[in-house]
Amino acid sequence: MLKLSKKSEYALMALQSLGNLAAGERIAVPMLAEQRGIPKDLLAKVMQQLKRAGLVHSSQGVSGGYALARPLTAITFLDAVGPFEEALGLAPCVDRNSEGCDRADCCSLHDPMEALNRWLMAQLSTLSLAEFVAARPPVVHGCVKAPRQPTSMERRPLPCEA
């Protein structure tokens, strides 16, 4: 139920990498793909879609590449992942990409579903990418791993503590 598509994962990777670029700098798909060790053609598609979603800017031609359209603090997890998730809603009755459910007005599960769905969406759209991936030091050649730091997720209070 929670699994992200590979495209989403690649999108998050890309946005993370774009996040620690110097201002005005750009990075090309082949470079990105090699750094993260992921299929270049697929990443290319992902980037196109990110552009269409307005999250990144692109420049064509040799020495072209991508850059963030706005800082990671202004991109939510939902923004980043939304374009790649076919089934973003819990059930057909609360999903944008489905023609709904004919039982919707005769289903005692509908209201709870809708409520939970709305809550989850709210969570994911109040989580900025900057929070999610606490952007860390520059990329070492071939390996982008960085020392562990507690993310802001871990500091979010659980509902039962509220």
Partner DNA sequence: CGAAACAGGACTGAAATGGTCCGATTTAGG
Partner DNA sequence: CCTAAATCGGACCATTTCAGTCCTGTTTCG
- Bridge partner list, 68: 56
Query: Would you state the structure tokens that stand for residue 157, as one six-digit string?
Result: 């209070």
85 vs 131, beta carbon nearer DNA: 85
Given a contact cutoff of 8 angstroms between Cβ atoms, the answer to whether 52 and 45 are in contact is no
DSSP state of 91: S
Residue 29, burial from CB neighbour count under 10 angstroms (0-12, 13-18, 19+)? buried
DSSP state of 76: B
Supply the minimum distance, in Å, between the C-beta of residue 3 and DNA. 7
Under the binding rule (CB under 6 A), the answer on residue 40 touching ligand SF4 is no
Under the binding rule (CB under 8 A), the answer on residue 157 touching a copy of itself is yes
Rule CB under 6 A: which of 90-109 touch ligand SF4?
A: 91-93, 101, 103-104, 107, 109
29-36 vs 6-19: helix crossing angle, rounded to 10? 110
93 vs 128, beta carbon nearer DNA: 93
- For 122, how many CA atoms within 13 A lie in the half-sphere containing its CB? 6
Counting residues that bind ligand SF4 (by CB under 6 A) gives: 11
Rule CB under 8 A: which of 57-116 touch a copy of itself?
A: 77, 81, 85, 87-91, 95, 103, 105-112, 115-116
Which among a copy of itself, DNA, ligand SF4, none contacts residue 162 (Cβ within 5 to 8 A by kind)? a copy of itself
Residues of this chain that bind ligand SF4 (CB under 6 A): 9, 91-93, 101, 103-104, 107, 109-110, 113
